[in-house]
A and B are shown apart, each in its own frame.
Chain A
Amino acid sequence: METAQAALKISELPFLAEEAPEGEGGDETTAAGSQGTVGEPFVENPRMSCREVNVFYGEKHAIKDVSIDIAGNEVLAMIGPSGCGKSTFLRCLNRMNDTVDTCRVSGTILLDGMDIYDRSVDVVPLRARVGMVFQKPNPFPKSIYDNIAYGPRIHGLAESRSELDAIVEQSLKKAGLWQEVYDRLDQPGTGLSGGQQQRLCIARAIAVQPEVILMDEPCSALDPIATATVEDLIAELQEQYTIVIVTHNMQQAARVSQRTAYFHLGTLIEVGPTDRIFTNPRHRLTEDYITGRFG
């Protein structure tokens, strides 16, 4: 059923049929197609499953034939050198790429068996189910309270003011920010420090109770203490949610994730259990990267 749908999808996309040039380099990375991904990209009972995803920014082929599953209640870490397409792939998962004019996506991405790129799918509820925390903190220029309350308000998640207050408090507590801001909820969110802002954005994302949370380098602007808070949060969230996290910090990936995916020049090179990837990488590129030979 799923595979039939995927096949149908691809045949519908004419630009994929013949061309889809095989990378720029022509080196060994081209060998790694979807079949070429080393390791165990697929799981049983996936929450999300991606098949032969290709992304183009105009002429630029940013993601090449990526196929991967994401299991429920797991943390998947995505690593790879800068510019290899981690953010791009992440943004495919809640269709944030729709906002980029030049961006075209092909292939299938299923969420609980539903093709999220299907014409009948409404992106608004999709993004409520698949939340996102961005690489740069981007709080709204509103009060701290309104930042958190905005999502629940537009989705109608709270019946009353007290319910809304409870959601705000819960979310801030989960993000480890409550202690710092509980007495100034009416002050602008933009007045917080960079690390606080990032946690505010995390709180904002979880306030709408998504099923999947996408995090794009959430800790790149945080100090070790705040990073630890966020990592604790991820561990805690994992019990309810599925989390995909992009990180440049290898230790972080090792600490928080169960599985790790390694991207290189738009191609998914290797996927596997985090311990194994870091102790015993199978692909030479993965090995080079985690041992710090490049990237």
Chain B
Amino acid sequence: MKKHGAMPGKEKVTAMDVVQKGLARRYRRERWFRRMGLAAVLASIGFLGLLFVSIIGNGWSAFTQAEVLLDIDFAAAQFDVDNLARANYGALVKKSLQKLFPGVKDRRQKRKLYRLVSSGAAFILQKMVMQDTSLIGTSRRIWLPADDEVDMLLKGYISRSVPESQRRLTDRQIGWIDRLIADGRLKKRFNTTFFTAGDSREPELAGIRGAVAGSLLTMLVTLLLSFPVGVATAVYLEEFAPRNRWTDLIEVNINNLAAVPSIVFGLLGLAFFLGVLGLPRSSPLVGGLVLTLMTLPTIIIASRASLKSVPPSIREAALGIGASKMQVIVHHVLPLAMPGMMTGTIIGMAQALGETAPLLMIGMVAFIVDVPTGLTDPATVLPVQIYLWADAPERAFVERTAAAIMVLLAFLICMNGLAVYLRRKFERRW
């Protein structure tokens, strides 16, 4: 450009020469821009990879769990058929351990021995007997969960080299553990409990089923409310509402709501849904309502954007052959805007799936053992479970926390994958 002005009159410079001269610089800029973009993408992939590596590195071991193979003798004498729950199932476990280690006589040592098996083992046996009374009188070999300390030792999280006093397992206990391993009675096996159980204070008995069920119920409420309400609001604002100060005000407010910290919605939920309506605390219903408030702005904004992007020529075409306003919207505009609306909804839902702060206020940050089955049962959700486990002193919860994060990430990836899939599928109709 500078050259252009100071052109010497001697040589005639054509427009093509100027273009050529600028061309190198233009290409350089383009390359530079491309490289910047590539670097940004690589950096974000790098960080994402780091996150995944660290979480998976911490969490994969939670998918196995040390289990002990015990010979349980359901001797008939111990059971009162009318009151199966009262039988001493703990004693069954203890007896079989005694048989394995007959040399252990001292009372304190016996307690130490019994502690190698999870305190949940007795309940597992109880359940088995209750389900199948024909077990009584037989003798079975059963894999039962080992204590979390044993699990940690097997997974190498507890070092054998530190002095005995600083370990939670004594040398003697480690000796027993080595015997069991040598006999093939102590092994890491796939941790089904993690997927089938609710929360527990014992890491080896804790699972994410309750949290997953709570998340699903909460999301169901959120989806059923926020999608139709959000779409209806967007359609009204975009297609029917007059442009005036009121609608401007509503629009500004919706945009503001999208930026309000989520805990505020929790406070609102506490005051309104629990306080005024008297809905049950800690329930997926209230959680879903609160998360609906939180996701609505996202859905409305995304839906309006996708309504706006429907070409006006399609509306005119439909109007031109005498479609009514409602027919234009339902037959033509909505189908075209649907992929965008769904994407917005799924992104909003994914956000809601990862939320803990507003749920704190309405009592969903809680220890809940029973898996919720209805909208009014007390429930918690996956991110809350992660938050609670991260705070637990037992070391075995560290890997379970990471494993729960993996499950949450898997859900998020599935949801976003679904968003992409839906968009693809519906866009093809264009």
State whether these chains interact: yes
User: Is B321 among interface residues, defined by CB-CB distance under 8 A?
Assistant: yes
Taken together as a complex, chains A and B put the C-alpha atoms of A189 and B321 apart, in Å, by 16
Taken together as a complex, chains A and B put the C-alpha atoms of A101 and B319 apart, in Å, by 15
B322 in contact with A124 (CB, 8 Å): yes
Contact of A151 with B319 at beta-carbon distance under 8 Å, contacts A101-B243, A141-B430, A190-B430 already known: no
B430 in contact with A138 (CB, 8 Å): no
Chain B window 307-351, contacts with chain A (Cβ cutoff 8 Å), 1 for yes, 0 for no = 000010111111111111001000110001000000000000000
User: Is A26 among interface residues, defined by CB-CB distance under 8 A?
Assistant: no
Chain B window 203-234, contacts with chain A (Cβ cutoff 8 Å), 1 for yes, 0 for no = 00000000000000000000000000000000
A134 in contact with B317 (CB, 8 Å): yes
User: Is B168 among interface residues, defined by CB-CB distance under 8 A?
Assistant: no
Contacts of A9 in B (CB 8 A): none
CB distance from A89 to the nearest CB of B (A): 16
B313 in contact with A127 (CB, 8 Å): no
B429 in contact with A124 (CB, 8 Å): no
Contacts of B243 in A (CB 8 A): 101
**Nearest-neighbor residue (CB-CB) of B332 within chain A:** A140
Number of interface residues of B (CB under 8 A): 20
Contact of A124 with B336 at beta-carbon distance under 8 Å, contacts A140-B317, A141-B429, A141-B430 already known: no
Partner of A151, one of B313, B322, B429: B322
Contacts of A94 in B (CB 8 A): 320
A155 in contact with B314 (CB, 8 Å): no
For window 70-96 of A, CB contacts with B under 8 Å fall at 94, 96
Partner of B316, one of A99, A125, A154, A204: A99
User: Is A208 among interface residues, defined by CB-CB distance under 8 A?
Assistant: yes
User: Is A176 among interface residues, defined by CB-CB distance under 8 A?
Assistant: no
User: Is A245 among interface residues, defined by CB-CB distance under 8 A?
Assistant: no
Partner of B322, one of A99, A128, A134: A128
CB distance from B260 to the nearest CB of A (A): 31
B429 in contact with A208 (CB, 8 Å): no
**Nearest-neighbor residue (CB-CB) of A132 within chain B:** B320
Taken together as a complex, chains A and B put the C-alpha atoms of A43 and B360 apart, in Å, by 78
Partner of A139, one of B316, B317, B327, B336: B317
Q: Which 9 pairs, one residue from A and one from B, show the smallest C-beta to C-beta distance?
A: A128-B322, A138-B313, A127-B322, A151-B321, A132-B320, A138-B317, A141-B430, A124-B324, A124-B322
Interface residues of B (CB under 8 A from A): 243, 311, 313-324, 327, 331-332, 336, 429-430
A-B contact list, 7 entries, CB within 8 Å? A124-B324, A132-B320, A134-B317, A134-B320, A141-B314, A155-B322, A204-B321
